[in-house]
Amino acid sequence: MAGNILYIPYTIAMIIGLLILIVIVKVAKRKKVPSIILMISIPIFIIIQCYFWNVNYNNYVKSYFFPSKIFECEYEDELKNMAIPLPKRTVFKGNQNVCSPFYLTYVNERDFKSFYQEELNKLKDKGTIQDYSDMENNKFAVRLLSGSSIEIIHKIENSNLIIIKYQNQS
């Protein structure tokens, strides 16, 4: 089940709309247009319900149409003006009101490494970060200008998560 409570009223409204459409088709006998609309509406209804209630399908669709592009953290002073890029087809999986480090991604291990090597080199050349190192087990350690660190970890066992850990120097 998907995590948004608003999916319940959406589903109820869609079922009522579908029932009204069925009634219109039954009342309007011998007309092809309402039956064609009904034949188109039922698959669309099913696809939308899959998006609402199937978490895997929801994440898959979000990764194409509503991907997260950057990690930003407004709650840590040091990270306010820093944006860490995220790979293509990455979906935010945490809370909006904190610096949630959890993202679901559909990139493989090789693409993850090459993406972050390129992006972290760009951040280093711009002077946004001090240095970074490519560690084993799909992990990058980033040293910020203040001496604080960020770890970018790609867990591929069964979850395909990207975890971004910020550690303040103090």
Quick one: pLDDT at residue 118?
Answer: 92
Q: Where are the domains of the chain?
A: 7-53, 67-167
CA distance 169 to 144: 10
Phi, psi (degrees; rounded to nearest 5) at 24? -60, -40
CA distance 125 to 131: 10
pLDDT exceeds cutoff 90 at 16: yes
- Cβ neighbours around 23 below 10 Å, total: 10
Quick one: pLDDT at residue 23?
Answer: 85
- For the entire predicted model, the pTM comes to 0.74
Phi, psi (degrees; rounded to nearest 5) at 139? -135, 140
CA 66 remoteness from chain centre:
7
Give yes or no for a contact between 1 and 54, defined as CB atoms under 8 angstroms apart. Answer: no
